[in-house]
Amino acid sequence: MKESKLGKDFKKTIIGVTDCSKFENYYSWIQSYASTIEVIKLSEKSNNFEDVKRCDGIVFSGGEDVHPRFYGKPEYLKYCHQTDVNEKRDEFELRLMEFAKENNLPVLGICRGMQLYNVFAGGTLIPDIPSWGKEDHSKLNNRDRYHQVNLDPGSWMASLIGDTIGEINSNHHQAVDKVGEGLALSGFSEDKVAEAAERKDPQGKSFLCLVQWHPERMLDQQSNFVSKIRAAFIGACANFKLLSSDKKGH
């Protein structure tokens, strides 16, 4: 009934979310924002790449370690969780990233999503943070660890969130090392592990927000490090839909 009031030609904002073991967390977080949103699961298991052509934006979710061969360091495989590597997923999502780039789709990368996008841009990863001499960023007693994040005051990310210091959740053992082309790191933990990345020059380009934390399951959903990110991403997707509709109308 609600949609009928919007007119028979109204179309929902369609957001693709990549598949993972905790897909429902991402689905609920995006879907619950408004009744005008439809979420599509994008999965290498379903091999439904064509569905991305219907999407107004993509969330790249968390999950498995990125296989080191994709960033030219196959020797790093020994540092990965051996039962937690999925090359088919890597390949599928790298194709999605290429499509997003070519078509200016808004992108939100979360945890693995940030890492994989950095690899897509030509960057590399730290395959195991403790082995590289830094503090553990993985789970703490089967729950997310929490720690401080510091954002570059002059960054796009800081202007989006409206804060430069906050508390975020943490559940990862890989992280960005060499930064990919066209990207800039804009947030770090106290021990200098990369926690956020963005475009070096975002002016006039499609929305790209990359975060190492998990906004979809942070305890404080009213935190700016959660709410501002979701609102900005969904707003960018809605705007993409309008612009696409205008182009088709002409």
**Record: fold of 12-249:** Rossmann fold (3.40.50)
What pLDDT, on the 0 to 100 scale, is given for residue 103? 97
Mean pLDDT over 13-42 rounds to 97
Q: Look at residues 199, 215, 210 and name the one whose alpha carbon lies nearest to residue 155.
A: 199
| Percentage with pLDDT > 90 across the chain | 87
Say which amino acid occupies 70: F
> Is the confidence at residue 24, as pLDDT, over 90?
yes
> Is the confidence at residue 195, as pLDDT, over 60?
yes
CA atoms of 227 and 29, how far apart (whole Å): 10
> Is the confidence at residue 5, as pLDDT, over 70?
no
* Catalytic member of 137, 172, 173, 214: 214
**How does pLDDT run across 52-68, given as a tens digit for each residue?**
999 999 999 999 999 99
CA atoms of 242 and 180, how far apart (whole Å): 30
* Catalytic member of 111, 137, 172, 198: 111
> Is the confidence at residue 1, as pLDDT, over 50?
no
Q: Is 216 a catalytic residue?
A: yes
* Catalytic member of 44, 195, 216, 237: 216
C-alpha 193: how far from chain center:
17
> Is the confidence at residue 232, as pLDDT, over 50?
yes
Q: Look at residues 54, 58, 51, 82 and name the one whose alpha carbon lies nearest to residue 68.
A: 82
Residue 214: both structure tokens together:
């998990």
End-to-end CA distance of the chain: 30
**How does pLDDT run across 79-138, given as a tens digit for each residue?**
998 889 999 999 999 999 999 999 999 999 999 999 999 999 999 999 999 999 988 888
What pLDDT, on the 0 to 100 scale, is given for residue 159? 97
Say which amino acid occupies 175: A
pTM of full prediction above 0.85: yes
Count of C-beta atoms within a 10 Å radius of residue 147 = 16
- Residue-averaged pLDDT of the chain: 93
What pLDDT, on the 0 to 100 scale, is given for residue 2? 41
CA atoms of 96 and 107, how far apart (whole Å): 10
